[in-house]
Amino acid sequence: MSENGKEQPRDRVHTFAVYVEDKPGVLNRVASLFRRRGFNIESLAVGHTEKDGVSRMTIVMEADDLIARRVEANLYKLVNVLRVEDVTNQPAVTRDLALIKVKADASERAQVLQMCDVFRARAVDVGPEALIVEITGTEEKIESLCELLRPFGILELVRTGRIAMTRGSEVPSINPEFVAAEVPNGISN
Amino acid sequence: MKRTGAQIVWEVLTQEGVEVVFGYPGGAILPTYDAMLDYPVRHVLVRHEQGAAHMADGFARASGKVGVAMATSGPGATNLVTGIATAMMDSSPIVCITGQVPSAAIGSDAFQETDVTGVTLPVTKHNYLVTDVADIAPNMREAFYVARSGRPGPVLVDISKDAQNATIDYVPQDGPWRLPGYRPDLRALPEEYERALELIEQAEKPLILAGHGVLMSGAMQELLKFIETTQIPVAMTLLGIGGLPASHPLNLGMMGMHGEAWVNMAIQEADLLLAFGMRFDDRVTGNLKTYAINAKKIHIEIDPTEINKNVPVDVGIVGDLRETLETLFPRLPEKQHTDWLAHIDELKGDAAVRDIQSLPDTGSLYAAHVINDLWRFTDGEAIIVSDVGQHQMWEAQYYRHEKPHTLITSGGLGTMGFALPASMGARFARPDEEIWVIVGDGGFQMTAAELSTCSQEGLKVNVAIINNGYLGMVRQWQEFFYERRYAATPMHNPDFVKLAEAHGLAGRRVEQRAEVEDAVEWAREEPGTVVIDFRVEQEDVVYPMVPAGADLHAMIRRPSPIVETAEGEAS
């Protein structure tokens, strides 16, 4: 509780789907915005979309609702950002992908593979001393598998960061092309 | 028609109605400078690129049009940065055109190569790196559009040398520009207007906080109509000054760190704050935890990111201020706030006796006297371009601006060295008006080289140096908060009169208050730029002062023999 009795907003994980023009430097503009406003990115994944010239970023950050709204407004302010969706409160599918290199010789391999099975993860490369496991799922699921594999020795770990998509057939329309309206040039007294 | 990229730059500038460009040539922008000679655009050769950006900014603020600065790659472009950041903080529309090394050399650490779009990314509204001649015209047109629309701001276009040299078949285009992600036209929902009207209806102690947005959206008449119907008093931000005539009975004056005591007290006591085109900067709020805690807040602001940024508000209305006030006007309740206004008048009484103008003349020349006299002898009608520091605050307190766009100053960034070059830009926007630069001895020396530009270009501005031999505002902080340990604030200055004369300009020194009127008259008569060195009291202090981060009502007040005597008698 704050001094004036209003409840302080609490931090929680927010997920934004951000549609941007696929142009050089746009990732830098977005990253720079987070840095200079002191917003902390937990993960950022970016790639092409179904539409030519449009990329989509999934940005995950921990923030209270007020900060989250400021992030949204600040993202919109970037000229190359087409649309921002805070999908935190929407029914959505979220996925993270991890590749995990686990130390496992012939004697341990079967045990590791068995665990992977439970998590619907699969071995994508097997060597005499180690194997690479691929897993997709929520962050929690990936964390759990990592916990179980840690005793064998995780040699390397790489993750894509979260990507998200809302459920249902409704597709968010990326802003219609904005055509500049006339603005006055010169002062009016 | 066949055109080189360099020619296209000027084609677009002429199409945009640009008549003057402030700049400095160099290797990577040479093709564009060569093409310039065939186009009817005046070029002002500055002495440092920072001056070019400030001139473009001063031009923009005095005209409402987009100002243009030009520089070469590398150091030329990086020298613009302070000026760009200044324009960014104060929402001033400028377009900066910089040359870049040939595209094949970009990224190779070539001679005079800097990643200028990278460097300026956080201090521009948007920027472009152009390496294809076909992109020059569309990107430049977009740059002008982005700079002046929505919440205005600086846009930089960095053009590689090979793109300037390349030739294409050029057909002038007149839009529409393809800016799919750019939305300067955001508007509030009707519910927001309803809630705002409700709060205005209920308020007993309402107060308007008028910011730069009043001037930028041209909402001066609408503000006047608004307050004459609702009888709500108005406090001004530094950049809002001029948005309402200083003499209007509902204009309380400036708020904030060096705002009038009664204004800050009124803010703290208000039950409704209406923030019009301002952004609750820390210099106007003081401690946010104790800021206007009893007030509901309505924020009308064109930039959605400003709403709920520093101060949580009850109603946020996104939109152009003038349009928003027009929308609200037909349904505004007619009000009389007699008790509230009487209470504010009481608060004023105490401050008046502390005013330096009411204190006995000690024979010393005070900056506040100089500025007050300047106001009187120019009939309050000059355009004032102030720099940053004590004199800037005294200007805001003692030069009473009746008309809009007559105060140009660096508010948000607080850029010392801004005033002289900005005044030169303003000169092109307002050729027939009297322009005075009010500047400290410190700030003046940061861009004093532009006197040479004044001389070469035949520009007339009157420079009033408020010379106290210190970096006065910093010294004031040292006096209050660092036990008078004057670290690096005393200044040993050159002879400013001789400096003016060395530039072929006239100079004069003033040491007595009695000489002020004559000096002002003399400056007005002189055909060229003049420099007046006002030797003012060295250790003077700007009152009142809210220490940084302190509660807005916790002001340090001017010690007054009158008030102290009265208090002594009472106890």
Mean pLDDT taken over chain A: 88
Residue with tokens 């053009």: B159
Which element (helix H / strand E) includes A124?
strand A122-126
Q: Show which of residues 61-90 on chain B sit within 8 Å of chain A, judged by CB atoms.
A: 63-66
Catalytic residue among B22, B144, B161, B257: B161
CA nearest to B391, candidates B426, B453, B436: B436
DSSP state string for B338-381: HHHHHHHHHHHHHHHHHSGGGSPP-S---HHHHHHHHHHHTTT-
CA nearest to B509, candidates B492, B490, B530: B530
Q: Are B411 and B364 in contact (CB under 8 A)?
A: no
- Predicted confidence (pLDDT) at residue A175 exceeds the cutoff of 60: no
Tens-digit pLDDT profile for residues B402-456: 999 999 999 999 999 999 999 999 999 999 999 999 999 999 999 999 999 999 9
Strand-pair category, B234-236 with B206-210? parallel
Q: What angle do CA B198, B199, B202 make, to 5 degrees?
A: 90
Catalytic residue among B473, B478, B496, B534: B473
Question: Does residue B49 carry a catalytic annotation?
Answer: yes
Question: Does residue B483 carry a catalytic annotation?
Answer: no
Which of B66, B117, B183 has the CB atom closest to A178's CB atom? B183
Residue with tokens 């992109």: B135
- Predicted confidence (pLDDT) at residue B12 exceeds the cutoff of 60: yes
| B536 CB within 8 Å of a chain A CB | no
Question: Does residue B112 carry a catalytic annotation?
Answer: yes
Tens-digit pLDDT profile for residues B525-550: 999 999 999 999 999 999 999 999 99
Q: Show which of residues 146-165 on chain B sit within 8 Å of chain A, judged by CB atoms.
A: 146, 148-149
Burial degree of B346 (CB within 10 A; 0-12, 13-18, 19+): exposed
One-letter amino acid of B185: D
Question: pTM (2 decimals)?
Answer: 0.94
Helices (H), B44-115: 49-63, 75-89
CATH placement of domain B190-348: 3.40.50.1220
The pLDDT of B364-389, averaged and rounded, is 96
Q: What percent of chain B has pLDDT over 90?
A: 91
Interface test with A, best of B182, B217, B311, B407 (most A CBs within 10 A): B182
Sequence ranges of the domains in chain B: 2-169, 190-348, 367-535
Distance from CA of B142 to the nearest CA of A (A): 9
Which of A25, A28, A79 has the CB atom closest to B182's CB atom? A79
Strand-pair category, B20-23 with B67-71? parallel
Buried b (16+ CB within 10 A) or exposed e, A117-138: eebebebeeeeeebbbbebbbe
CA nearest to A58, candidates A73, A74, A37, A75: A75
- Predicted confidence (pLDDT) at residue A183 exceeds the cutoff of 90: no
Nearest CA in chain A to B61: A187
**Structural domains of chain A in order of their starting residue, each with its CATH number:** 12-90 (3.30.70.260), 93-166 (3.30.70.1150)
Structure tokens at B475: 């010294």
Query: What is the distance between the alpha carbons of residues B385 and B413, in angstroms, rounded to a whole number?
Result: 15
Question: Does residue B403 carry a catalytic annotation?
Answer: no
Number of Cβ within 10 Å of residue B10's Cβ equals: 20
Q: Which CATH superfamily is domain B367-535 in?
A: Thiamin diphosphate (ThDP)-binding fold, Pyr/PP domains (3.40.50.970)
Distance from CA of A153 to the nearest CA of B (A): 41
Which of A69, A178, A189 has the CB atom closest to B182's CB atom? A178
Structure tokens at B159: 């053009």
Query: What is the distance between the alpha carbons of residues B401 and B132, in angstroms, rounded to a whole number?
Result: 48
Residues of A in contact with B63 (CB under 8 A): 186-187
Which element (helix H / strand E) includes B116?
helix B116-120
Which element (helix H / strand E) includes B500?
helix B496-502
Query: What is the distance between the alpha carbons of residues A74 and A86, in angstroms, rounded to a whole number?
Result: 13
Q: Show which of residues 165-194 on chain B sit within 8 Å of chain A, judged by CB atoms.
A: 175-185
Tens-digit pLDDT profile for residues B256-305: 999 999 999 999 999 999 999 999 999 999 999 999 999 999 999 999 99
Tens-digit pLDDT profile for residues A28-53: 999 999 999 999 899 999 999 988 89
DSSP structural state of residue B284: H
Q: Are B260 and B544 in contact (CB under 8 A)?
A: yes
Which of B126, B220, B308 has the CB atom closest to A79's CB atom? B126
Provide the pLDDT for residue B462.
98
Q: Are B419 and B465 in contact (CB under 8 A)?
A: no
Which residues, at least 6 apart from B108, have a Cβ–Cβ distance to it below 8 Å? none
Q: Do domains B2-169 and B190-348 have the same CATH topology?
A: yes
Question: Does residue B225 carry a catalytic annotation?
Answer: no
- Predicted confidence (pLDDT) at residue B350 exceeds the cutoff of 90: no
Q: Per CATH, the architecture of B2-169 is what?
A: 3-Layer(aba) Sandwich (3.40)
Query: What is the distance between the alpha carbons of residues A32 and A83, in angstroms, rounded to a whole number?
Result: 18
Give the three-state DSSP class for B42. Answer: strand
B181–A81 C-beta distance less than 8 A: yes
Query: What is the distance between the alpha carbons of residues A189 and B221, in angstroms, rounded to a whole number?
Result: 8
Rounding to the nearest 10 degrees, give the CA dihedral for residues A111, A114, A115, A119: 170
